[in-house]
Structure 1
Amino acid sequence: MATEEKARPAAGAFDRFFHLSENRTTWKREILAGTTTFLAMAYILAVNPIILGDAGMPAGGVFAATAVAAATGCLVMGLWARYPIAQAPGMGLNAFFAYTVVLTMGIDWQVALAGTFISGALFFVLAVTGVREMIVNAIPNQMKLATGAGIGLFIAFIGLQKAGIVTDDTATLVTLGDFRSGPTLLALFGLVATVVFLVLGWKGAVFYGLIATTALGVATGVTNEAADLTPDFASTFGQGITHLPEAFTGQMIVVILTMLFVDFFDTSGTLFAVAGQAGMLKDGKLPRAGRAMASDSIATMAGAVFGTSTTTSYIESSSGVAVGGRTGLTAVTTGAWFLISLVAFPVVAIVAGTDAIIAPALIVVGVLMAKQLGGIEWDRLEFAVPAFLTLVAMPLTYSIANGIALGLVFYPLVMITKGRWREVHPIMYGLLLVFVGYFFFLH
């Protein structure tokens, strides 16, 4: 009895801090919601070391940085912004980091981390001053949708390559792979399993698909080695900071602008979507918007110091909201699970050791991102042309930056031709000049 009496004041303070009663929820429901969100996005722990590993980064360092960046983002979002929205290194942004910045543009990953840190610092300044919201509002919604969908196509293309479903060809550039190959068959199984879980409405379908594919891979011997994901902070920690002076170049300006652009819309769209699902918007506006938008910038800077690409809000947070998550305690719980994962690396290592296991997750994430295609007004050429060029340029040039740049060059040009130049925000004309310079002088 005495124990219960002592617990009540603490519970009251806990309730007041997270506004549990005000949001008609309980700590048990919030912890369940946070755990559900973690299961829905835990795949990033295995996927991120693979993608950034392609850029030459040490897997153990990336794994540790991913967990720390995700935990930081979740804790800041939960304790400061008080939203049930989880954060982690973003899909799409990690692909841009590895395949565009490092492999295509030839920039060292250490310098790319420096650019990520700078972008995080800029995110923070723009968020707390309100400029970030102004820039987001300047870009037409059609281009935001095209960017999200185009990144989805790019990620799916990478997944199809890792699965062996699509391979290179000297005559046609790409062709169908060998479906008799063990890894390809395993990837196809994983794709089917993940899609089935998704269609059945399972929360964490991507995560369960990874588990099912891993189990079959181990049983059949296709998964015969594990990646070395032993947390190795020393291999990546501080590498970006020591290379900061090398990040102030023309090439890196374009890189940082692209990171800003993608994260602007990724985070903003997710925040409004999840907050709307939770019934937390007031007159269509997001309370404490500055804090919510600054949370990912703090996590981005922390992640860049430890060794990973840009951190952003995850749409998988909607799975936690669907089971009742309404407060920052949901995000705090998700962050705690990411910290716990630092000691669970042997399990994650098996998943990360085989491309065929990761590939289905990439393809399905691409499918989910591509649903934004439905919002594009294809019957209006002033939207259809720049949107289409954005979509196709990303996978076909193997660059998210190229897709964004091409779309933002053509949008104002088409609007000028239509005689609607006054409807284009001045910021868009500034971006037009920046990206024309990118194609002709910096690319």
Structure 2
Amino acid sequence: MVERYFKLKENNTTIKTEVVAGLTTFMTMAYILIVNPSILSAAGMDQGAVFTATALSAVVATMLMGVYAKLPFAQAPGMGLNAFFAYTVVLGMGYTFEFALTAVLLEGIIFILLTAFNVREAIVDAIPDNIKKAISVGIGLFIALVGLEGAGIVVHPEDGSTILALGNILAGPGLLAIIGLVITSILLVRNVKGALFIGMLLTAAVGIPMGVISLPTQILSMPPSLAPTFLKFEWHNIFSIDMVIVLFTLLFMDMFDTIGTLVGVATKAKMLDENGKVPNIKKALFADAVGTTVGACLGTSTVSTFVESASGVAEGGRTGLTAVTTSIMFAIALFFAPVFGVITSAVTAAVLILVGLFMMEPIKEINLEDFTEAIPAFLTILMMPFAYSISDGIVFGVVSYIILKLASGRYKEINFVTYIVGFIFILKFFIH
């Protein structure tokens, strides 16, 4: 039944491969169960309730992605989006977290409508092929930087002498991450099945005697109550200018982060069809929209497709069974909250760095001889890690693509929807 439903043979995969891929994806993104409550607590939200909301929203959205869209992508409250929620809307603009949750709810509802009318699907199709390939490469560099920075291998010097510098790799998390990189790399070159997942387990084991990883004193616990955040909306400010600005920013960040992740990871997995389209993209975008709506009701920031899904794809995940496995793991995680302190950034760093390598593969297919194609692709790749934003990378790529095609008199090569997307990108900077 599982074989037939997910078409495993047709996708050249097995139940074992899909399950390992799902576990790997979960391990690389499980940090969100700790980080999201920590960030949203700065907005005055109950940390325990946000933990439960984070896990449940990931369960619903990822299960929908697996069973409905049948794609190997996982979803949870997105990084960047949660920071905007807490530090900009609540602490910066002075609104309540209820106001911010209302904005997230409206965003989810708008996304459902946009998906139903194929607007988001049209935007995905409007991205030129070379930029789609560049998105995969850019995400590779972005995710590698996330791994390096999270483990302290690269740091931001406090004296401001350089933008980035080498951190302490002779002790602590930095050393453990380097050891993990060596272990996982050896497993890969030896063609060990499940190398990324096994690498994380071995790295965590090494981290215990090093004192970097602390074993939890408690294993099982009941999920904290959702009561402090469940359906906590505030309606009296929904027609304010600030709500429009907040809503537009959330829509923009989520739409293009999600589109970038779906296109980039699907490109790496060679899942694009003969027309360069992501299969079941409308269903995938619907899962994302429903996840955001449900997440707002539960009490968390915008749910988005996670770039760490690339780690599961790198392990061979090709169908919705990968996502279903990840969803089940988030459900189990509800009862094992104390354990997730073990899965630190030092443990996942090696996987994220190596997945960055895997994501680089489509660069071989980018046309670097035609500068109207090469420059937009290069800017897409460049800006994702350096602007620390997938969506900003897409902005630079698409806008430069339009400008260069027009300047060279090759305007007929531009899709009409691409013009609209480019205009929205430019508008975003003025509104933001």
TM bin, normalised by shorter chain, reads 0.7 to 0.9
Distance in structure 2 (CA, Å) of the matches to 1:200 and 1:115: 49
Selected match of 2:127 from 115, 119, 139: 139
Task: Please tell me whether residue 259 in structure 1 is matched to residue 251 in structure 2.
Answer: no
Matched AA of 2:52: A
Distance in structure 1 (CA, Å) of the matches to 2:7 and 2:208: 45
Distance in structure 2 (CA, Å) of the matches to 1:300 and 1:398: 22
RMSD: 4.1
Distance in structure 1 (CA, Å) of the matches to 2:262 and 2:336: 28
Name the CA shift for 1:288/1:97 in 2 (closer, same or farther; >3 Å): closer
CA contact (8 A) 1:116 1:259 kept: no
Q: CA deviation at 1:60?
A: 4.9
Q: Which residue of structure 2 lines up, in the alignment, with residue 363 of structure 1?
A: 353
After superposition, the C-alpha distances for 1:306-330 in whole angstroms (9 at most, x for unaligned) are 32543438455657876xx87x667
Q: TM-score, normalised by structure 2?
A: 0.77
Name the CA shift for 1:235/1:157 in 2 (closer, same or farther; >3 Å): farther
Q: CA deviation at 1:139?
A: 1.4
CA contact (8 A) 1:31 1:333 kept: no
After superposition, the C-alpha distances for 1:58-112 in whole angstroms (9 at most, x for unaligned) are 765555344323322343345445x36453238xxx3432567766895789566
Q: Which residue of structure 2 lines up, in the alignment, with residue 442 of structure 1?
A: 431
Q: Which residue of structure 1 lines up, in the alignment, with residue 177 of structure 2?
A: 187
Q: Which residue of structure 1 lines up, in the alignment, with residue 149 of structure 2?
A: 161
Within 5 A, what are the aligned runs for 1:367-378? 367-378=357-368
Q: Which residue of structure 1 lines up, in the alignment, with residue 22 of structure 2?
A: 38
Matched AA of 1:438: K
Distance in structure 2 (CA, Å) of the matches to 1:425 and 1:201: 43
Q: CA deviation at 1:363?
A: 2.5
Q: CA deviation at 1:408?
A: 2.6
Aligned pair count reads: 411
Q: Which residue of structure 2 lines up, in the alignment, with residue 427 of structure 1?
A: 417
Q: Which residue of structure 2 lines up, in the alignment, with residue 172 of structure 1?
A: 162
Task: Please tell me whether residue 414 in structure 1 is matched to residue 373 in structure 2.
Answer: no
Task: Please tell me whether residue 338 in structure 1 is matched to residue 325 in structure 2.
Answer: no
Q: CA deviation at 1:189?
A: 0.9
Distance in structure 2 (CA, Å) of the matches to 1:335 and 1:42: 8
CA contact (8 A) 2:59 2:328 kept: yes
Within 5 A, what are the aligned runs for 1:80-99? 80-81=68-69, 83=70, 85-89=72-76, 94-98=78-82
Q: CA deviation at 1:414?
A: 0.9
After superposition, the C-alpha distances for 1:372-392 in whole angstroms (9 at most, x for unaligned) are 433322222112222222322
CA contact (8 A) 1:46 1:349 kept: no
Q: Which residue of structure 2 lines up, in the alignment, with residue 151 of structure 1?
A: 139
- SS of the residue aligned with 2:156? strand
After superposition, the C-alpha distances for 1:237-268 in whole angstroms (9 at most, x for unaligned) are 44784488377333541341231123234335
After superposition, the C-alpha distances for 1:346-393 in whole angstroms (9 at most, x for unaligned) are 3322224xx423433433343333434333222221122222223222
Distance in structure 2 (CA, Å) of the matches to 1:294 and 1:136: 14
Name the CA shift for 1:376/1:59 in 2 (closer, same or farther; >3 Å): farther
Q: CA deviation at 1:337?
A: 3.6
Q: Which residue of structure 2 lines up, in the alignment, with residue 397 of structure 1?
A: 387
Q: Which residue of structure 1 lines up, in the alignment, with residue 212 of structure 2?
A: 222
Within 5 A, what are the aligned runs for 1:266-277? 266-267=261-262, 276=271
Q: CA deviation at 1:397?
A: 3.1
Q: Which residue of structure 1 lines up, in the alignment, with residue 303 of structure 2?
A: 310
Q: CA deviation at 1:221?
A: 1.4
Q: CA deviation at 1:402?
A: 3.2
Matched AA of 1:190: G
Distance in structure 1 (CA, Å) of the matches to 2:125 and 2:183: 39
CA contact (8 A) 1:320 1:330 kept: no
Q: CA deviation at 1:415?
A: 1.0
Write 1 or 2 for the structure with the bigger share of helix.
Answer: 1
Identity of paired residues, percent? Answer: 30
Give structure 1 stretches of 5+ with no counterpart.
1-14
CA contact (8 A) 1:51 1:98 kept: no
CA contact (8 A) 2:130 2:366 kept: yes
- SS of the residue aligned with 1:171? coil
Name the CA shift for 1:240/1:114 in 2 (closer, same or farther; >3 Å): farther
Distance in structure 2 (CA, Å) of the matches to 1:178 and 1:140: 41
| Segment drifting more, 200-209 vs 238-247 | 238-247
Q: CA deviation at 1:41?
A: 1.2
Task: Please tell me whether residue 206 in structure 1 is matched to residue 213 in structure 2.
Answer: no
- SS of the residue aligned with 2:155? strand
Distance in structure 2 (CA, Å) of the matches to 1:109 and 1:225: 37
- SS of the residue aligned with 1:249? helix
Give structure 2 stretches of 5+ with no counterpart.
none
CA contact (8 A) 1:146 1:388 kept: yes
Name the CA shift for 1:225/1:23 in 2 (closer, same or farther; >3 Å): closer
After superposition, the C-alpha distances for 1:36-75 in whole angstroms (9 at most, x for unaligned) are 2322212145322355367454765555344323322343
| Segment drifting more, 331-340 vs 241-250 | 241-250
Distance in structure 2 (CA, Å) of the matches to 1:209 and 1:19: 28
Matched AA of 2:416: P
